[in-house]
Amino acid sequence: MNASATSSPSDLQKKVSAVIFDLDGTLLDSENVTKNAMKEFLARYGKVLEDGEDRCVGMTQSESARCTVEYYGLPMTPVQYTEQLITLCKLGWANPKVLPGVDRLHRHLQKHGVPFALASNSVSANIEAKISHLPGWKDRFAIILGSDEVKSGKPSPDIFQEAAKRMGVSDPACCLVIEDSGVGVQAARAAAMNVVAVPSRSEAHRVTAADTILHSLLEFQPELWGLPPFEDWIDNALPIEHVDLHGIFDNSVFQEESGGGSSGLIDQIYGSYLGWIRVNEHEPLKVIADIREDPSCPKTRVIKVIPLGGSSDSGGFRSTQKVQLTLTGYLRRENKKEITGCDTTITEEEKMRATAALDLPIFATASHSNQCEGL
């Protein structure tokens, strides 16, 4: 994904008083749950989900069902398809994966008294099913709206206008919408609201009308929208929930092995991260993991691993062997080109900052973890 800011920071210094979030693909990795359920469902009818399937992203439930039934020639009505698919989806919804930076931004808005709403093209019952397993989520939003509560779903502006109305915000310019899909961006624009897009790689080309495009909410800067800035950076490094990846280290590149299961490397993990790499019982080695698009293979990412404070063969660490890579922090890059993915050079100063940060307990937890399993 070649996500980038589409406006300069000086253009984005606007004052917003409320934020409206989409749900699927913006806050939760629930679209992958739906995709896996579709694979299983289509297989029952001898159909194969096409690679890069994204024609239904952002659609309402009824629109998506009609689109899928017609495209794959399924022997059922859209209503029957929906009922059967949701049964499969609910298994995945019971264990939702929150996307990077989401809880952090929610806590920040709550701390500063900024109201925020949830406005999704999912119907209300499905929203309930998706967030009910997440402690505190049902209470953190000022408003929760599904597409079945308004006349028309996205790309109509109805749902965003209704959310603003219920929050008591009369000026749409005071609302900031955070979306991942093209239809969501269209809806925000139709509502005359500001919009930040955090798309998947397959959806990035559809969100160019957004004010700015980010790889993940870890890149979000509240101060550009007249909101209080984050205060949780520690010497230009941000603690994150640990991400554990298993794979092969070869020629300074980490290649994930998912073992037939789902990848731990969701689309929104992009940029420069602090962490640890471990081989068997050896002590873990400090590293920077620089995650970028592979220029030789579109829509594919490459993870370049840069050892810190020692050579690549220290502590039993050498090329072409199974390792565990644990990401514990996000590195804020000094170069302004970082968000565009144009600059992949890690400076010596950044290496020094990363090395120092990994000595702090909040980033160094992984160094005391148990021996890796399955290596």
List active site positions.
22, 24
Contacts of residue 216, Cβ cutoff 8 Å, sequence gap at least 6: 99, 100, 101, 198, 268, 269, 270, 271
Query: To which H or E segment does residue 356 belong?
Result: helix 348-357
Asked whether 256 and 265 are in contact (CB, 8 A), the reply is: yes
What is the rounded CA–CA span in Å between residue 226 and residue 138? 26
Could you give the C-alpha distances from 205 to 32, 156, 332, in angstroms and in order? 19, 20, 25
Report the candidate in 121, 103, 96, 90 with the shortest Cα–Cα distance to residue 28.
96
Strand blocks (E) in the chain: 18-21, 116-119, 143-145, 175-179, 194-197, 212-213, 237-250, 253-256, 271-278, 285-293, 301-307, 321-331
Place of tokens 């806050």: 27
What is the rounded CA–CA span in Å between residue 198 and residue 268? 8
Asked whether 253 and 313 are in contact (CB, 8 A), the reply is: no
DSSP β-bridge partners for residue 293: 301
What is the rounded CA–CA span in Å between residue 63 and residue 262? 27
Report the candidate in 69, 10, 61, 15 with the shortest Cα–Cα distance to residue 34.
61
Contacts of residue 100, Cβ cutoff 8 Å, sequence gap at least 6: 216, 217, 218, 240, 241, 266, 268, 269, 330
Burial class (CB in 10 A: 0-12, 13-18, 19+), 168: exposed
Q: Are strands 212-213 and 301-307 parallel, antiparallel or unpaired?
A: unpaired
DSSP state of 171: -
